[in-house]
Structure 1
Amino acid sequence: MPAIHVLACAGAGARKPPGNEPAGWRLGFRQTLALSTAYQAGVVAWVAFWAFYGRGFTAENAMAITTFGGAYMLVVIVEPLTDLAVLAIAKALHSLKGSGLVERRLYSAA
């Protein structure tokens, strides 16, 4: 069964801004940050749901979920920033278009 947060992010990502540009150029930094953060928050919610479903609403289980959520916050903080950095680098290295060092789809419309 697919995760609900993946479907929500797919639905949000399907609404593309107009234009005949590659996907990374259509998405702004704010949109990229929002999609990435929504996905990571969905991961935490999904794990919490299944942990409560499988082990019940006990204090021990709640503490384990809280510990996981706290540890996963590093991913929630680092991953969206990494996504933004990769997007910025791809936009800055536009001179690599046609060089064979990057995938052709990076600089071409789908």
Structure 2
Amino acid sequence: MYHYFFLITAIAKNLPLLKNHFRKHWQERVKVHFNQAGKKASRRDARVAKAAKIAPRPLDLLRPVVRAPTVKYNRKVRAGRGFTFGEVKAAGLTPAYARTIGIAVDHR
């Protein structure tokens, strides 16, 4: 019965705590980011290619221009989440149809 106690305890006897040494092959695990400039150029080329492919249409949905909330940011204008149901209805469209022609609609 006494020897089972040592099997379930984590540290037994007067031995030093292990100091694991995992620094032997660290060169194999180094990840470098020397491809940042190349990836940036690739992303830009992909954006330009997509814009050329869908030529007269915009790349993203049409969104309203809104002013950011709070005193800190309210001098800035930015793209909103989408037009409200009332705004879409005033334009003579249904929300479902507006979504199909590339207009963002905010359902809140």
TM-score by length of 1: 0.23
Higher helix share: 1
Larger RCO, structures 1/2 (Cα 8 Å, 6+ apart): 1
TM-score by length of 2: 0.23
